[in-house]
Amino acid sequence: MCGIVGYVGTRPAARILVEGLARLEYRGYDSAGLAVAYRKALRTTKAVGRVDDLRAALGDEPSPGRVGIAHTRWATHGEPSERNAHPHTDASGRIAVVHNGIVENAEELRAKLIADGVVFASDTDTEVLPHLIAKAAGDDSRTLEEAVREALRVVEGTYGLVVLDARRPDELVVARNGSPIVLGLGDGEMFVASDVAALVRHTRQVVFLADGELATITATGYEGSRLGPPTTVDVDDDDYDLDGHPDFLSKEIHEQPAALRRVLAGRLDTRFATARLDGLRLDPRELRGIRRVTFLGCGSALYAGQMGAMFMEELARVPADAEQASEFRYRNPLVDPDTLYVAVSQSGETIDTLAAVEELQRKGGRVVGCVNVIGSAIARQCGAGMFLHAGPEVSVASTKAFSSMTTSFALLALLLGRVRDLSSAHGTRLVDGLRRLPDAVEHALAGEAEVAAVARRYAEARSMFYLGRVRGSAVAREGAQKLKEISYVHAEAYAAAELKHGPLALVDATMPCVVVVPDDELIAKNVSTIEQIKARGGPVIAVTNADLPDGLADAVLRVPRLEPELDPILLGIPLQMLAYHCAAALGRDIDKPRNLAKSVTVE
Ligand code: F6R
């Protein structure tokens, strides 16, 4: 949450900073601002709203200064307003700070600073930082890095921050504790950002700051006690283009066949009818020793984990569950040495999931990651796992990362199954099904026009139910989540059989019910659920790969048949498109739904 960018080099900084911010807008879009140092003074520009508003506020002649910092905000302390927009400065206007994270003892620090005569200009937790740094910098006998280090001694909480001192226009100081910071190495210029997305236009040579690191960067290099050598990131600037799509969500929904081909590349072993997941770093004996699998994640990553748990029990016959990472970390969890814990996260930065990993490791648990972003905190903390290779996911709502996660879990279940009792014939059928999955997703996506027509019919609904049994359960939960977050239509997912135990009272002609109907042994039960809804006048949208009786549902969204165990991955695709087209029909800001941000790095 919140995106930060910094630049020090030979070109005017302002435009570079704004371009970088635009790439980080998914991290927050309540306000944006930047500060550029020129002739030993700072020029600060801020705007409420989007990066485009900041661009407009900058006008045609931004400061020619060649060093600066910028920020796009997801508000935590204080309403979205110009006064609360970053960068924040000390009273003299010399030190400017952009910050991602939360200063947890801000109230206490603020009270002390006020007692010392400091006057605050915002309601934010961040503002204590420039005041503390200015105080520590004092008469300039310390370097800026020393002043920042000194100031941070009293700060509790999380931060990724960049500090600019008007008197030292040749350098920036960066620090990280819990929130991501990555340095980009240019030719005679250096960049800083929360995410490589803001850097790849300029360089693919990057250095990820580890937690607790602090560094000084200049146009020609970086200095920090524990910084490693640069690595080359496997992301292109083009990956952030819309590629003819109206928005990133549409692009990412349609990228799924290609994303799944990457997930599967090199991981299907036809000879032994199994999966190869070398990144787990578990040998067959260790795989056999696993007595339980627990997935940990938040939001869609949690729902992906729920599907993963189902795959694990069905294919590998290993008990499995999925836990909300946020609850797990605070519950004083019982950690079992024979359980394989899988931390699931697209961004690899979600604070609750990261904290759950740390808690597990502290108690001796064996935890692997299932992460999209290479170099992210969770990937580094786990040290082993499965990368998704889904490519950058820019839209706030997760789609291609979700289907890549669930496909990875099918691979994991296949692998665990094949070191146990899953037969070679069964394994071969699954390997074959997985191989056909990307084409089947392509086929499901081809039904978009019909899904859009259904969405237009129901988009005005006040609320919708999403119902599914066993293989349809996690699909329904994720479907409801997508609808809520991008269309703002209330949706609730239920196990289909639970409907009769209370929620059926809500069903009438104004409550569309989306029922997930896999073509499996429970089909008769799902048909009966649909009939019960119809008997109460509720409109039914069925999502299925079965041939349902004509007229049973008011609308049918079809996907091809694959293999029954893998069908849930496919059944989710129309629900992504349904949410997308409901949001489009309602004129929502599809890539940047209100109140949300993609990477949740604060609690
Ligand atoms: C939903 C969505 C969120 C994320 C959740 C976890 O579409 O995007 O629910 O799934 O915030 O994020 P990651 O996967 O980055 O840990």
Give the model's pLDDT for residue 26. Answer: 80
419-437 pLDDT, tens per residue?
999 999 999 999 999 999 9
280-307 pLDDT, tens per residue?
999 999 999 999 999 999 999 999 999 9
Mean pLDDT of 78-101: 92
487 lines ligand 1 (CB under 6 A): no
299 lines ligand 1 (CB under 6 A): yes
352 lines ligand 1 (CB under 6 A): no
Sign of CA dihedral 229, 234, 238, 241: negative
Give the model's pLDDT for residue 227. Answer: 77
Ligand 1 atom nearest residue 598's Cα: 8
Q: Lowest mean pLDDT of 74-88, 255-269, 402-416, name the range.
A: 74-88
Higher pLDDT, 75 or 286: 286
Ligand 1 atom nearest residue 402's Cα: 10
Task: Determine the residue of 485, 486, 600 to mutate for testing ligand 1's pocket, defined as the one with the most ligand atoms within 8 A of the Cβ atom.
Answer: 600
Which one is catalytic: 46, 400, 592, 598?
Answer: 598
Distance 339 CA to ligand 1 centre (A): 24
Distance 534 CA to ligand 1 centre (A): 34
450-489 pLDDT, tens per residue?
999 999 999 999 999 999 999 999 999 999 999 999 999 9
Using CA positions, which residue lies closest to atom 16 of ligand 1? 345
Please give the Cα distance from 242 to 151 (Å, whole number).
42
Give the model's pLDDT for residue 563. Answer: 96
Report DSSP state, residue 228: -
Higher pLDDT, 75 or 347: 347
Q: Is 532 exposed, middle or buried (0-12, 13-18, 19+ CB in 10 A)?
A: middle
Backbone Cα Rg of the chain: 25
398 lines ligand 1 (CB under 6 A): yes
**E strand or H helix at 7, and its extent?**
strand 3-8
Report which of 580, 595, 590 is spatially closest to residue 451, judged by C-alpha positions.
Answer: 580
562-583 pLDDT, tens per residue?
999 999 999 999 999 999 999 9
395 lines ligand 1 (CB under 6 A): no
Residues 7 and 44: beta-carbon distance below 8 Å = no
Ligand 1 atom nearest residue 397's Cα: 7
Which one is catalytic: 2, 370, 382, 513?
Answer: 2
The set of residues, in sequence order, having a beta carbon less than 8 Å from that of 406 and lying 6+ positions away, is 304, 307, 308, 311, 474, 568, 569, 572
Distance 399 CA to ligand 1 centre (A): 10
Query: What is the separation of C-alpha 498 from the centre of its chain, rounded to a whole number of angstroms?
Result: 31
Can you list the domains of the chain with their CATH numbers?
Answer: 3-239 (3.60.20.10), 242-446 (3.40.50.10490), 447-603 (3.40.50.10490)
- Return the percentage of the chain with pLDDT > 90, whole number: 85
Mean pLDDT of 241-267: 96
495-539 pLDDT, tens per residue?
999 998 999 999 999 999 999 999 999 999 999 999 999 999 999
Distance 344 CA to ligand 1 centre (A): 9
Task: Determine the residue of 27, 179, 346 to mutate for testing ligand 1's pocket, defined as the one with the most ligand atoms within 8 A of the Cβ atom.
Answer: 346
- Report H helices in 383-497: 400-418, 424-445, 448-458, 473-487
Give the model's pLDDT for residue 225. Answer: 64
45-72 pLDDT, tens per residue?
999 988 999 999 998 888 899 999 999 9
347 lines ligand 1 (CB under 6 A): yes
302 lines ligand 1 (CB under 6 A): no
CA dihedral 472, 473, 477, 482 (to 10 degrees): -10
124 lines ligand 1 (CB under 6 A): no
Give the model's pLDDT for residue 39. Answer: 92
**What confidence tier does 135 reach under pLDDT thresholds 50, 70, 90?**
very high
Check if 2 is active-site.
yes
Distance 231 CA to ligand 1 centre (A): 26
Q: Which two tokens stand for residue 481?
A: 């989540």
Ligand 1 atom nearest residue 398's Cα: 7
Give the model's pLDDT for residue 25. Answer: 85
Distance 300 CA to ligand 1 centre (A): 5
397 lines ligand 1 (CB under 6 A): yes
Check if 484 is active-site.
no
